């Protein structure tokens, strides 16, 4: 039987395991990336491993999330990241150089290589034919130390693209269309391969927009073939030598095939508060807009911003609209400036923000009360913008620009044509903002600078055989990591300070949670389906662990979050019968017995001490995961000599 693209890369990187769906495989990781909001924790974890130099082919530490410096916290963290990277063989991308995924695509990604990153949008690299996964910081630390990355062998979906996008219909609309079809749970347990004759019509940045938003489908990752378009992109970035062709075999088999005719697509929009709440843009055409934000790792490439500039050129944005532009990288910003497109954008009345995540993670530019904000980003979860009652919609750069001009949600296909905008034959190359690490002989004596914001790593407890704990919180379906551990300008600077962060845990759902969890001693959370979707932040597991949470029982979990729970030593269980969810209430006391034997068999009995009733909870864990849990988390397990 022929192989899919991902199966070929997995086979070439297989350390152990067998490639049948559902079984665990260990993969050799060629490249890693971290960003600052998850990176501080990842390097603190790496340091505990006592390995002098990273063992990957390439590791890069980016600073792109915490770039507002309203006090010493972020600046101290940047200094820590710069010095720890220099000491251990990691390249350091300075603040202002751009968003990790955009720069990695431009300067470092290589077809056929494996990449893990402590950020859920690491699959952006799939646009170049990389097998790229979002992971928790601890998994990235282990990979930097030369350890394998473990995934459950997924299913394989293929999206077969035919036709060609019409003017003003974009890769973002393809992403929104697939979210409409599959929902935020539809990709769980699957790698999505994009293929078919339509692929050749999409540039690498467009492909990267699509693989980036595969994260919102819950997919393990997404990948495109590496072809002539890939070769040309790499050549234009001055690195044709990094090109390798890659495609699936003719007779490769897929668990599901979805057809999308690019020619038939219309501009799409995701409505508040979920990326799969998708309708056609023209169906919302009279909605007044307060704010428009163009940028983020989904849509801040040169191609995106050249199109925006062409739409805005010679025009002025509506008086009621505030428009921000955050270019994805210094390369994008400099090239926009050099060709005059930046002047067209600014002359329209736009505000230029730093090359960073910015408003996407609530780092400034929050909308006004009940404000309608159109964003070219990938997530519109409740409260993420920093304004709890903000109404955030996700759109393409073209829809964003058209709406900024009219002041209302506007279908860009109603505008006059701007003509075809192509990528340049060569990009401007200047890697001076990526600092090289110290040579190993100098690194030995180099000092790592730590500020007072960096607090000790919380200790998790190993399991005994019985757990009695209070059901401290019961939540609904699709709880995101933004609910569990919010981000934003006020909280994000404390990502290396778990005690401080813990005050905000579940703030959007129930601000009394932290106090109640602490008072309970040992606690349990009950969740609906797709619990923990969204970000890769391990803080969404470490902070509940710090507050005493020992177990989460949910209808189902998101992939990265369940791995983070195990790494933090929190027992993840699913309901054998989802009807048992209904019978549980906050404040019930639950007892789980025979934990070691139960997790080995994959099924445990949970007794509700309030009602006296028992129910079955399941956990499908590999031997390694069971050992990690019993040890009280990955760090304890690694210290005890586990691999």
Q: Judged by CB under 6 A, does residue 304 bind ligand MIC? A: no
Token match 């996008």: residue?
165
Structure tokens at 208: 């990267």
Q: Determine, following the binding rule CB under 6 A, whether residue 103 of this chain makes contact with ligand MIC.
A: no
16-24, 149-157, 353-361, 505-513 -> range binding ligand SF4 (CB under 6 A): 353-361
Active-site residue, selected from the candidate residues 13, 36, 65, 77: 65
Q: Is 104 in the site for ligand MIC (CB under 6 A)?
A: no
Q: How far is CA 186 from the centre of its chain?
A: 16
Active site residue 535: yes
Touching ligand MIC, residues 110-139 (CB under 6 A): 119-121, 134
Number of residues assigned to the chain: 643
Question: Residue 99: which of ligand SF4, ligand MIC, none does it interact with, CB under 5 to 8 A by kind?
Answer: ligand SF4
How many C-alpha atoms does 477 have within 13 Å on its Cβ side? Answer: 7
**Residue choice 284, 292, 297, 372 for contact with ligand SF4 (CB under 6 A):** 297
Should residue 183 be labelled a site residue for ligand MIC when binding is judged by CB under 6 A? no
Question: Which residues are within 8 A (CB) of 312 and not within 5 positions of it... i.e. 6 or more apart?
Answer: 344, 345, 347, 348, 350, 401, 404, 405
Q: What are phi and psi of 438, to 5 degrees?
A: -70, 150
Can you tell me the distance from the alpha carbon of 302 to that of 428, in angstroms, rounded to the nearest whole number? Answer: 11
Contact 287, 408 (CB under 8 A): yes
Cβ contact 152:24 at 8 Å = yes
Which tokens is 419 given?
A: 């003509």
Residue 599 partner contact from ligand SF4, ligand MIC, none using kind-dependent CB cut-offs of 5 to 8 Å: none
Query: Which residues lie closer than 8 Å to 515 by C-beta, 6 or more apart?
Result: none
3-state DSSP helix/strand/coil % of the chain, to nearest 5: 35, 20, 45
- In 293-349, where does DSSP find H-type helix? 302-312, 330-339, 341-347
Q: Does the footprint of ligand MIC cover residue 536 (CB under 6 A)?
A: yes
Q: What are phi and psi of 61, to 5 degrees?
A: -105, 120
Q: Is 379 an active-site residue? A: yes
Q: Which is nearer to ligand MIC, 234 or 570 (CB)?
A: 570
CB of residue 411 vs ligand MIC: minimum separation in angstroms? 27
User: Which among 30, 36, 77, 119 is annotated as catalytic?
Assistant: 119
Give the shortest CB-105-to-ligand SF4 separation in angstroms: 12
Active site residue 249: no
The residue within the footprint of ligand MIC, chosen from 361, 372, 423, 551 (CB under 6 A), is 361
Please say which residue, 138 or 361, places its beta carbon nearer to ligand SF4. 361
615-640: b or e for each residue (b if 16 or more CB lie within 10 Å)? bebbbebeebbbebbbbbbbbbbbee
Q: Which candidate, 629, 636, 573, places its Cα nearest to that of 605? A: 573
Exactly one of 379, 384, 495, 561 is catalytic; name it: 379
- Catalytic one among 30, 36, 64, 242? 64
Q: Contacting ligand SF4 (CB under 6 A), which of 54, 130, 217, 361?
A: 361
DSSP 240: G
Using the structure block, give the residue that is written with the tokens 């693989």: 211
Q: From the list 6, 25, 29, 37, which residue makes contact with ligand MIC (rule: CB under 6 A)?
A: 37
282 tagged catalytic? no
Give CA–CA dist 401/375, Å, rounded: 10
Instruction: Name the token pair of 41.
Output: 């924790």
Nearer to ligand SF4, 159 or 361 (CB): 361
- Binding of ligand MIC by 487 (CB under 6 A): yes
Which of 550, 426, 555, 539 is closest to 483 using CA atoms?
539
The answer to whether 207 is a known catalytic residue is no
- Which position among 378, 380, 387, 625 is part of the footprint of ligand SF4 (CB under 6 A)? 378
Closest approach, Cβ 42 to ligand MIC, in A, equals 10
Q: Is 65 a catalytic residue?
A: yes
- Which of 59, 82, 296, 301 touches ligand SF4 (CB under 6 A)? 296
Which C-beta is closer to ligand SF4: that of 102 or that of 638? Answer: 102
Interface with ligand MIC, residue 535, by CB under 6 A: yes
Taking CB under 6 A as the criterion, the residue among 119, 206, 216, 290 binding ligand SF4 is: 119
Report how far Cα 548 is from the mean position of its chain's Cα atoms: 26
Closest CA to 499 of 534, 531, 542: 542
Phi then psi dihedrals of residue 212, to 5 deg:
-55, -50
Residue 135 C-beta: closest distance to ligand SF4, Å: 14
| Nearest residue to 460 via CA among 517, 542, 515, 560 | 542
CB of 427 to ligand SF4, least distance (A): 20
CA nearest to 526, candidates 501, 496, 556, 559? 556
Which residue in the list 384, 495, 537, 559 is annotated as catalytic?
A: 537
Q: Does 537 bind ligand MIC (CB under 6 A)?
A: yes
**Choosing among ligand MIC, ligand SF4, none, which partner's interface includes residue 537 (Cβ < 5 to 8 Å by kind)?**
ligand MIC
What does the binding site for ligand SF4 look like in residue numbers (CB under 6 A)? 65, 99, 119, 121, 296-297, 357, 360-361, 377-378
Active site residues: 64-65, 119, 379, 535, 537
For binding to ligand MIC (CB under 6 A), which residues are involved? 37-38, 65, 119-121, 134, 361, 487, 534-537
């Amino acid at each position: 039987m022929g192989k899919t693209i991902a199966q070929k890369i997995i086979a070439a990187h297989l350390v152990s395991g067998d490639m049948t769906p559902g079984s665990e495989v260990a993969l050799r990781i060629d490249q890693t990336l971290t960003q600052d909001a998850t990176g501080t924790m990842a390097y603190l974890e790496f340091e505990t491993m006592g390995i002098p130099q990273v063992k990957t082919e390439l590791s890069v530490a980016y600073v792109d999330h915490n770039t507002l410096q309203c006090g010493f916290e972020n600046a101290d963290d940047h200094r820590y990241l710069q010095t720890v990277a220099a000491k251990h063989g990691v390249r350091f991308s300075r603040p202002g150089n751009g968003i990790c995924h955009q720069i990695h695509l431009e300067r470092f990604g290589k077809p056929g290589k494996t990449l893990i990153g402590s950020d859920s949008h690491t699959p952006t690299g799939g646009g170049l034919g990389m097998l790229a996964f979002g992971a928790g910081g601890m998994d990235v630390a282990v990979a930097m130390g030369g350890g394998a990355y473990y995934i459950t062998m997924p299913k394989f979906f293929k999206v077969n693209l035919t036709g060609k996008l019409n003017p003003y219909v974009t890769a973002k609309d393809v992403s929104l269309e697939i979210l409409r079809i599959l929902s935020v749970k539809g990709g769980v347990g699957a790698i999505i391969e994009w293929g078919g004759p339509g692929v050749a019509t999409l540039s690498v940045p467009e492909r990267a927009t699509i693989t980036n938003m595969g994260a919102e489908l819950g997919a393990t990752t997404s990948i495109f073939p590496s072809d002539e378009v890939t070769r040309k992109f790499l050549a234009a970035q001055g690195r044709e030598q990094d090109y390798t062709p890659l495609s699936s075999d003719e007779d490769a088999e897929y668990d599901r095939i979805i057809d999308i005719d690019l020619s038939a697509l219309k501009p799409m929009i995701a409505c508040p508060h979920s990326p799969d709440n998708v309708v056609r843009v023209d169906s919302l055409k009279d909605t007044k807009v307060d704010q428009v934000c163009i940028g983020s790792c989904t849509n801040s490439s040169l191609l995106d911003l050249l199109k925006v500039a062409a739409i805005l050129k010679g025009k002025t944005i509506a008086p009621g609209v505030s428009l921000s532009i955050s270019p994805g990288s210094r390369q994008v910003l400099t090239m926009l400036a050099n060709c005059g497109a930046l002047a067209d954008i600014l002359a329209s009345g736009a505000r230029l923000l730093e090359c960073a995540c910015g408003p996407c993670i609530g780092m400034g530019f929050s909308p006004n009360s009940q404000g309608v904000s159109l964003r070219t980003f990938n997530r519109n979860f409740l409260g993420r913008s920093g304004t709890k009652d903000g109404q955030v919609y996700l759109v393409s750069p073209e829809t964003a620009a058209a709406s900024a001009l009219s002041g209302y949600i506007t279908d860009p296909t109603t505008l006059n044509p701007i003509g075809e905008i192509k990528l340049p034959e060569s990009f401007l190359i200047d890697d001076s903002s990526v600092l090289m690490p110290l040579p190993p002989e100098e690194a030995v004596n180099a000092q790592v600078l730590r500020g007072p914001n960096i607090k000790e790593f919380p200790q998790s407890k190993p399991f005994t055989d019985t757990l009695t704990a209070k059901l401290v919180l019961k939540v609904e379906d699709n709880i995101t990591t933004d609910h569990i551990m919010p981000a934003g300008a006020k909280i994000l600077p404390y990502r290396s300070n778990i005690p401080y962060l813990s005050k905000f845990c579940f703030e959007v759902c129930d601000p009394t949670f932290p106090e109640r969890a602490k008072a309970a001693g040992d606690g349990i959370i009950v969740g609906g389906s797709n619990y923990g979707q969204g970000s890769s932040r391990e803080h969404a597991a470490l902070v509940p662990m710090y507050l005493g949470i020992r177990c989460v029982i949910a209808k189902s979990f998101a992939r990265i979050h369940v791995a983070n729970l195990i790494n933090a030593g929190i027992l993840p269980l699913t309901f054998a019968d989802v009807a048992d969810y209904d019978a549980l209430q906050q404040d019930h006391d639950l007892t789980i017995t025979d934990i070691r034997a139960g997790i080995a068999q994959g099924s445990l009995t949970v007794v509700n001490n309030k009602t006296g009733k028992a129910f079955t909870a399941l956990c499908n864990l590999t031997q390694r995961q069971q050992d990690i849990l019993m040890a009280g988390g990955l760090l304890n397990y690694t210290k005890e000599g586990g691999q």
